[in-house]
Amino acid sequence: MAKIFCVANQKGGVGKTTTTVNLAAGLAKIGQRVLMVDLDPQGNATMGSGVDKRNLAVSVYEVLVDSVPVREAAQLAEKCGYHVVGANRELAGAEIELVQLPQREMRLKNALAKVDGDYDFVLIDCPPSLSMLTLNGLCAAHGVIVPMQCEYFALEGVTDLVHTIKQVHANLNPDLQIIGLLRVMFDPRTTLQQQVSDQLKSHFGDKVFSTVIPRNVRLAEAPSYGLPGVVFDPLAKGSQAFIAFAQEMVERVQSMNKTARTQATKTKKSVKTASNG
Ligand code: ADP
Ligand code: MG
């Protein structure tokens, strides 16, 4: 069964796309079967995986609006080792078209259900807004990864996102949880960043991933070569951090599965006790 994660933060330029493609490549490197779904009409995650957004035979738009199967849309990003369902400007129109369709928030979830056995991880790169597209991502996912820069207003932005995630959890997707906050573009020499990082840890506890992604120019250069940093320069500090993050994600998923199994056993036992008594 695939574990599905959204990479979301309604702010632009915080490192969502960089996180999505590098985590995808990192997971692929350690032997995981990965599908990356680009839900941003800018198509940066598509291009950043070496897939040309201008020549997509089938994009995520057709998956969402015309119910074209994910298997027809997914293509292998050869150098990266994962599959891509790409996006381009056409997707901007989906926002309006989706509103009129049945099960408008569940279209990505329903589409992904059919490839559940094909992947270990599905990563969804969300646009910088809390739109119908992001909502489709949140409804499809088991969890949200929130990349954030340790800057002054960072906490405020996260509060809004936490609120949205709680609402989606309550009304549309009871599986949804914040898997973790990922500190990105981190510069340990900056006192303010250290302070915000400490604040984050005291506020969110172990929801803050222990891996920290440093600011690293190789990660910023990689997209112009159509590659995630992890593939472009695997030895760069930023790439190494993303490989460590991939490992941390695998461990989180293992502990998520363990918790789910324990809960299932508990429920079974209590049902048994109830029916015996
Ligand atoms: P978003 O998807 O949230 O808009 P991006 O991932 O596109 O954000 O990142 C915004 C910019 O910051 C991009 O130019 C990207 O290359 C750069 N960037 C992201 N993470 C890092 C990092 N760790 N070090 C240096 N530059 C980074
Ligand atoms: Mg982006």
Structural domains in the chain plus CATH codes: 3-276 (3.40.50.300)
Average pLDDT, the chain: 94
Question: Atom 4 (ligand 1): residue with closest C-alpha?
Answer: 13
Ligand 1 atom with the shortest distance to the CA of 216: 24
If one counts every other C-beta atom within 10 angstroms of the C-beta of residue 194, the result is 14
Q: Cα of 267 to ligand 2 centre, how many Å? A: 40
pLDDT score recorded for residue 33: 98
Residue 208 CA, chain-centre distance (Å), reads: 15
70-74, 85-89, 248-252, 270-274: lowest mean pLDDT where? 270-274
Ligand 1 atom with the shortest distance to the CA of 238: 23
Mean pLDDT, residues 199-204: 91
The whole-angstrom separation of Cα 258 and Cα 263 is: 9
Residue 15 Cβ inside 6 Å of ligand 1? The answer reads yes
Ligand located closest to 12 CA: 1
Residue 185 Cβ inside 6 Å of ligand 1? The answer reads yes
**Distance, first Cα to last Cα, the chain:** 35
Q: Is the pLDDT of residue 237 over 70?
A: yes
Helices (H), 43-153: 44-47, 60-65, 70-73, 91-99, 107-113, 132-140
- Are 121 and 3 in contact by the 8 Å Cβ rule? The answer is yes
Ligand 1 atom with the shortest distance to the CA of 11: 3
Ligand located closest to 14 CA: 1
Per-residue confidence band for 263, with pLDDT thresholds at 50, 70 and 90: confident
Residue 238 CA, chain-centre distance (Å), reads: 18
Per-residue confidence band for 270, with pLDDT thresholds at 50, 70 and 90: confident
Global confidence as pTM: 0.95
Q: Cα of 2 to ligand 2 centre, how many Å? A: 23
Per-residue confidence band for 277, with pLDDT thresholds at 50, 70 and 90: low
Residue 173 Cβ inside 6 Å of ligand 1? The answer reads no
Q: What is the pLDDT of residues 165-192, one digit of tens each?
A: 999 999 999 999 999 999 999 998 899 9
Question: Atom 5 (ligand 1): residue with closest C-alpha?
Answer: 15
pLDDT score recorded for residue 230: 98
Question: Atom 15 (ligand 1): residue with closest C-alpha?
Answer: 220
pLDDT score recorded for residue 76: 98
Torsion sign over Cα 222, 228, 232, 238: positive
pLDDT score recorded for residue 108: 98
The whole-angstrom separation of Cα 97 and Cα 89 is: 14
69-78, 101-110, 197-206: lowest mean pLDDT where? 197-206
Residue 197 Cβ inside 6 Å of ligand 1? The answer reads no
Residue 187 Cβ inside 6 Å of ligand 1? The answer reads no
What angle do helix axes 191-204 and 154-171 make, rounded to 10 degrees? 30
Q: Is the pLDDT of residue 36 over 90?
A: yes
Q: Is the pLDDT of residue 141 over 60?
A: yes
Residue 176 CA, chain-centre distance (Å), reads: 12
Measured at the CA of 1, the angle between CA 126 and CA 32, to 5 degrees, comes to 70
- Are 213 and 202 in contact by the 8 Å Cβ rule? The answer is no
Mean pLDDT, residues 17-41: 98
138, two tokens: 């949140």
Residue 21 to residues 102, 252, 272, Cα–Cα distance (Å): 31, 19, 45
15-19, 35-39, 129-133, 220-224: lowest mean pLDDT where? 129-133
Residues of the chain with pLDDT > 90, as a percent, come to 83
Q: What is the pLDDT of residues 104-138, one digit of tens each?
A: 999 999 999 999 999 999 999 999 988 999 999 99
